[in-house]
Structure 1
Amino acid sequence: MSRTLAAIVGGAAGAVALVGILLLICCFCIFRKRTISTTSDTGSSDPSVQVGKNAGVELTSQDARPFHIEELSLATKGFSDKSLIGQGKFGEVYKGLLHDGMLVAIKRRSAVASQEFIDEVRYLSSIQHRNLVTLLGYCQENDQQNLVYEYIPNGSVSIHLYGGGHVTQEKLEFKHRLSIALGAAKGDPLQNQ
Structure 2
Amino acid sequence: LHQMPMSVWFTLRPLAVTVGVSVMLLSLVALYFIFNRREKLAAIALAAAMIPAGLAMIEAVARTAPYFSLADLARFLNPRLDSGGDAIFEGPLDDSSSLIFYLNRKFLFVNQNRHKEAPIGKTSIDLFLNEKAVLDKWAGRDAVYLIVEQSRADYWKELLSNRFHVYHQITTSGTYVVLGNQL
Task: Write 1 or 2 for the structure with the bigger share of strand.
Answer: 1
Task: State the TM-score, normalizing by the size of structure 2.
Answer: 0.26
- TM-score, scaled relative to structure 1: 0.26
Answer 1 or 2: higher relative contact order, Cα 8 Å, separation at least 6.
2
Structure 1 or 2, whichever has the larger Rg, is 1
Structure showing the higher helix proportion among its residues: 2
